[in-house]
Amino acid sequence: MGWVRRWSLAIFFLAVTLARATQCPACTVPVFRYGLDHWQADNYRLELPANASQDGQLAEFFRNLGTALPLNLEAKPGTGLEARLLFPHAEEARSPLVWSGLLTPANLAALTDSPARREIARRILSGESVVWVLVESGKQAEDDALAARVEKRLRYLEQVAILQRIDPNDPDSKLGPGPALRVKFSLMRIPGAAVGDPARSKAAQVNGGSDTGAPAETLLLKMLAGPKPAEGLADGSWLAAVFGRGRVLGAWPAADFGDAEIEEACLFLLGACSCQVKRQNPGWDMLMNVNWPEELQAAAVKAAEATAVTSPTPTNITETVSITSGAKLIPAVVPETQSGLALWLGAAGCAAIGLFLVLRRS
């Protein structure tokens, strides 16, 4: 079924490319930065047991939720003896389950934050365009080879991809406060677990629990996999791409996700944000304990200090590596003087390259 996934991904990004060509290019901010500037993370829902208010620490936490705590989380009374954490969903009754168990201060802390989530936020706030997460299979040789392949492709993309120039006089393309705009990717490696296995998830509880094989990031893995995990995520290593305020573009089995698919996902996020409505873009949000407005202001101060002695023009930040690539990547750039016809030609060119990459891998 790998070729089906490859074709599905190619067709999706081809449709987005053609849609961009038919619209007025009013916003030239890349998708990854537009999401960071504008897209508030959707709220997860925590259903509380009746006795939750009896614990002083828990009661204080929920009093501060929504005011002093920067969490994309809402709490509501539940009907059972255990707490339940649910994915965001427009219809509450259809919200997929993330976790259920005893609500203790330790469990609540692990639900709402984790070291890997803090590291993802740190990288994004430092100016990284996309954080790629490799969830490992536990087979070290295979995981190391996969990580090396992904790292090589990301370093190549950093060297050749170019951001579209942003007109400082265009009111629709103003950057919000935050880090300097650049092309930068990184890879995080996290030990894996069986995603979508209710028995193991229950045994693992939140932070390891009675399942000694479950990693400390069990909840993060479920959030990365999404409300509807793709087939194959429980069978081996897989990849997820995170951008913006903890938004996951998608999660894919690594066996079916090669260089061409990595390029397509990266180019989509580097391209101009053609649709500014969050819900019309792919992906889902993670539960993050980050005060994004405050942290983005702090990142803007650091960026201003850095640009006081360097050029403020957005540039690619790359590492010096030697890479041999079989296909030349089309830069994600549209010159200011490009006409409507040129937009169509550019879209057709991108489509041709995308189809070529897919056919080459079929």
DSSP state of 179: S
Query: What is the pTM (predicted TM-score) of this model?
Result: 0.77
Token readout for 345 is 């030609």
Tens digit of pLDDT per residue, the chain (362 long)? 454 455 455 444 444 444 444 444 568 899 999 999 999 999 999 999 988 888 889 999 999 898 888 999 999 999 888 999 999 998 888 899 999 999 999 999 999 999 999 999 999 999 999 999 999 999 999 999 999 999 999 999 999 999 988 887 887 788 999 999 999 999 999 998 655 444 344 433 343 332 323 346 999 999 999 999 998 898 899 999 999 999 999 999 999 899 999 999 999 999 987 776 788 889 999 999 999 999 999 999 999 998 776 655 554 543 333 223 333 333 333 333 333 333 333 444 444 444 444 444 44
Instruction: Give the separation between CA 68 and CA 245, rounded to whole angstroms.
Output: 18
- Three-state DSSP class for 26? coil
Beta strands (DSSP E) in the chain are 44-48, 73-77, 83-86, 97-101, 130-136, 182-183, 185-191, 238-243, 247-253, 284-285, 315-316
Total domains in the chain come to: 1
Instruction: Give the separation between CA 80 and CA 8, rounded to whole angstroms.
Output: 40
**Cβ–Cβ < 8 Å for 35, 360:** no
What is the domain range of residue 347? 2-361
How high is the pLDDT of residue 194?
Answer: 52
CB atoms near residue 210 (< 10 Å): 9
Nearest CA to 231 out of 201, 249, 251, 258 is that of 251
